[in-house]
Amino acid sequence: DILEIAICRTMLIAGAWHEWNNHVSKLLAADGFTEEKLSVVKLVHLTSQGPLNDRQWAALLYADYISRAVSVPDSIFAKLEVAGFSEKEIVELTATIATYNMVGRFFVALDIAEANDKPPQWLK
């Protein structure tokens, strides 16, 4: 669920709805991941951890910061550490988020894939 949370958040920020649609179903298929948890991933502005556990919340915040500002404050790295992420896991998470930022921006910029101009109803 951690990588899919990061991918979905990155696609939401990029507006890459084709990729969002592909990955949200994978996220919901993850063991124990619910629509209620997904509702936090869908928020335009993250304000509350809600039903997400500490690892899920830290990954979501990390993806949000990388995708919006690129630079990540030390407080977010501290959340990853407290949530139990190893250095290796942080590198893997960073590589995934960076890769999907490229994918999302590439697809949207060149209008590749269906649905990029069709944001989900819940976003409107």
pLDDT tens-digit readout, 13-44: 999 998 998 999 999 999 999 999 999 999 99
CATH number assigned to the domain covering 1-123: 1.20.1290.10
Q: SS3 for 105?
A: helix
Q: At what angle do helices 54-68 and 2-14 cross, to 10 degrees?
A: 30
As a whole number of angstroms, the distance between CA 118 and CA 124 comes to 10
Instruction: Give the distance, in angstroms, between the CA of residue 1 and the centroid of all CA atoms in the same chain.
Output: 10
pLDDT of the residue at 48 = 94
The per-residue pLDDT for range 78-108, each reduced to its tens digit, is 999 999 999 999 999 999 999 999 999 998 8
Residues in the chain: 124
As a whole number of angstroms, the distance between CA 104 and CA 87 comes to 26
Q: What sign for the dihedral angle of Cα 104, 105, 106, 111?
A: positive
As a whole number of angstroms, the distance between CA 23 and CA 33 comes to 13
